[in-house]
Structure 1
Amino acid sequence: MRNIIIITLSSILVAFAYNFLLIPHEILSGGLSGIAIMLGIVTPLNTGVLNLLLNLPLLIIGVLKLGKRFIGYTILSVAVLSISLYIIPIYKATQEPILASLFGGVIVGIGTGMIFRASGSSGGFDIIAMLLSRKRDFPLGALISGMNGIVVAISGFVFSWDAALLTLVSIYATGKIVDTIHTSHIKLTLMIITGEGEEVKQQLLSKLHRGVTVMDAKGAYSGEGRKVLITVITRYQLAEVKNMIKETDAKAFVNILQTTEVIGVFDRGSK
């Protein structure tokens, strides 16, 4: 319930940033939302409706390829964002485009980062990047940045290069805030010491599609047998893994280390 509330409120916050700061100055956001904003400006269609239509095919693919909890939260985010964009009126909160670009990007970054922290995403390029990163071990951040570069270029050709530069400022501000709140492309090594080794292992294998190494261990004080599970995940998946471990074994000891590099098969699904 906590995650649902966070995702709902954060999606509404992003919609306010779009309709009060970015859209009135023809400034785009990153991802498919940016394309929806552009189409909403140049066509009679509402941005919220366009955002839902553009995300719909990716959400269907995500249901089949990505974790149920992640894609469920993402569907919630896309739905709330699209409805909010439809309901919230477009209002020019400031007459200064640079202020609209900077603060709009910051607010979008706060909302998006909180959605990530709650184990979801705002859809669009996030889903594309996650699907691609499962086939090749590319940083999610680099993939998203590359696709956002296309949005900037489109903004320049459709509107003006001033608008493109303002879009770039907005996307940069959003990325910095998201990285501060939740950096998704960093890899983490988890060492999980648990008395419910088999259950935790099955959860990791079925929900994350990551390889897991299992070792036997014994508590020095208690003398009781334990299992040590070692796996590597992306920071993007950390919230989901923490919730999963808590539900399976609330007494598990988990050591989380930032990983500099991974050599070999990172994703079982890439075989």
Structure 2
Amino acid sequence: LFLKVYKMSGSGKVGIDRMSNERKKILIAGADWKNIFKDYLTLTIGAFVLIISIDVFFVPSNISPGGGVTGSAIIINKFTGWPVGLLMLALNVPMIVLGFYRLGRFNFLVRTLYTVLIYNLGVDYFASILPTGITDDLLLNALCGGVLGGIGTGLIFRGRSTTAGLGIVSRVLQLRTGIPISQVYILTDGAVLLLFGQIFGWDRALYSLMALFIFGLATDYVLEGPSVIRTVFIVTNSSEAISQGLLSRLGVGVTAWSA
């Protein structure tokens, strides 16, 4: 019918083009919703895997996957008995607010808020459901917790989100002061691990360091596959814009050199 109208009158072509454009919009909107659903499903699965690593392996053995918010929450829990997940949420909320005002990426921060709520509240909810004390071997707890935690975090990154924490603070400091993110992580995680060693013993701190290393390897494997070293060189006069795009859309690291 539309072909017939198109052949009979010039106005029919406009109608067809309009119909075609509307159909394109519907198809694009449908594709967007599919991607959004896929991302949030990935975030939910990743958060649950991360919850298992915390409740089953890390908290019962007093091991932390590094420092940061998780390590700080476990330390505070030691003295107060307050739920670990609730403590993590309390520490994360100010950082999310900081990220919202300083980074200004609304969609990214909405995903992060969703992930933080599912992850932090889930840690407390599933603490009485999931089995704990599977093994007293600290090495096994560090290995299993690190692998599962890294897989969960990798899935969360694939869903274009984060677990908040000091990553947001590190990014803000890097943008405002030029301090590399890696240095901020070393300082903050190092300080928490030193405190961790003083409270739980240096064997726990060393196992936490091992868990952090395995955690990172597992995360990289989920994100990149077996080959984790991929480098792309981009020559451009718009380095800031491209860097922001790569960081926000792909979540990859960027290093800049002046020509």
Task: Report TM bin, short chain.
Answer: 0.7 to 0.9
Greater share of residues in strand: 1
Distance 2:95 2:201 in 1: 29
TM-score (norm 2): 0.72
Distance 1:171 1:238 in 2: 25
How many percent of aligned residue pairs carry the same amino acid?
Answer: 24
Give the residue type in structure 1 aligned to 2:42: I
How many residues align? The count is 213
Provide the aligned C-alpha RMSD in A: 3.0
Distance 2:91 2:108 in 1: 19
Structure 1 portions without partners, runs of 5+: 193-204, 213-230, 242-257, 265-271
Give the residue type in structure 1 aligned to 2:94: P
State which of 37, 45, 60 in structure 1 corresponds to 2:82: 45
Shift in alpha-carbon separation, 1:95–1:211, aligned structure 2, 3 A: closer
Structure 2 portions without partners, runs of 5+: 1-36, 225-229
Shift of 1:32: 0.6
Q: Helix, strand or coil for the counterpart of 1:88?
A: helix
Higher relative contact order (CA 8 A, sep 6+): 2
Shift of 1:263: 2.4
Shift of 1:240: 7.1
Counterpart of 1:81?
119
Shift in alpha-carbon separation, 1:26–1:86, aligned structure 2, 3 A: same
Q: Counterparts in 2 of 1:95-110, with a 5 A limit?
A: 95-110=136-151
Shift of 1:142: 4.0
Q: Counterparts in 2 of 1:112-191, with a 5 A limit?
A: 112-182=153-223
Distance 1:58 1:189 in 2: 32
Shift in alpha-carbon separation, 1:132–1:84, aligned structure 2, 3 A: same
- 1:55 matches 2:92: yes
Distance 2:54 2:254 in 1: 36
Residues 193 and 205 in structure 2, CA contact (< 8 A), matched pair in contact too: yes
State which of 29, 52, 57 in structure 2 corresponds to 1:16: 52
Distance 2:111 2:235 in 1: 27
Shift of 1:144: 2.1
Greater share of residues in helix: 2
In our comparison, the structure showing a higher alpha carbon Rg is 2
TM-score (norm 1): 0.69
Residues 55 and 124 in structure 1, CA contact (< 8 A), matched pair in contact too: yes
Shift in alpha-carbon separation, 1:159–1:259, aligned structure 2, 3 A: closer
Shift in alpha-carbon separation, 1:234–1:40, aligned structure 2, 3 A: farther
Shift of 1:191: 8.8
